[in-house]
Amino acid sequence: MVKANIVREEDGIPMLYKEFKRGFGVRIVHPQNPKAPSKNLSVQLLYIAPGGKVDPHSHENEEVYILLEGTGRGQFGLGKPIDIEPGMFFHLPANAEHGLENTGKTMMKVMVTTSPPFPVWPEWEIVAPKTEERKK
């Protein structure tokens, strides 16, 4: 029987992305995370500080964005940006333009699922410490 991986946000791998200004990501379910090594999808959290943004971009990977906290503007290939707020879901087919800007006063938190996952970044490879090392 295959067991589930049960992880918390703090078990994720922090990531910096070139499209980000004043923000970062945390790869929680991803081939790169030994605590939740997925094969066909990824789940990560994006954090964007007030005034920060993810520059508009596109890629082959299909994504779903779910705005959990904060407010702002989003670009989704609709011709003009739209206001975004918690509870909104955005399905991004392959090659759909997308970008976010935090126009609010608090941190923006976005859950992102991606299929297939983005590749492992070698400079961020994580080797899980042995049990004896974790106890120190």
Residue-by-residue pLDDT tens, the chain, 136 positions: 999 999 999 999 998 888 889 999 999 999 999 999 999 999 999 999 999 999 999 999 999 999 999 999 999 989 899 999 999 999 999 999 999 999 999 999 999 999 999 888 766 555 545 444 444 4
Q: Are 107 and 70 in contact (CB under 8 A)?
A: yes
Which pair of tokens denotes residue 65?
A: 């964005």
CB burial string 98-112: b at 16+ within 10 A, e below: bbbbbbbeeebbbeb
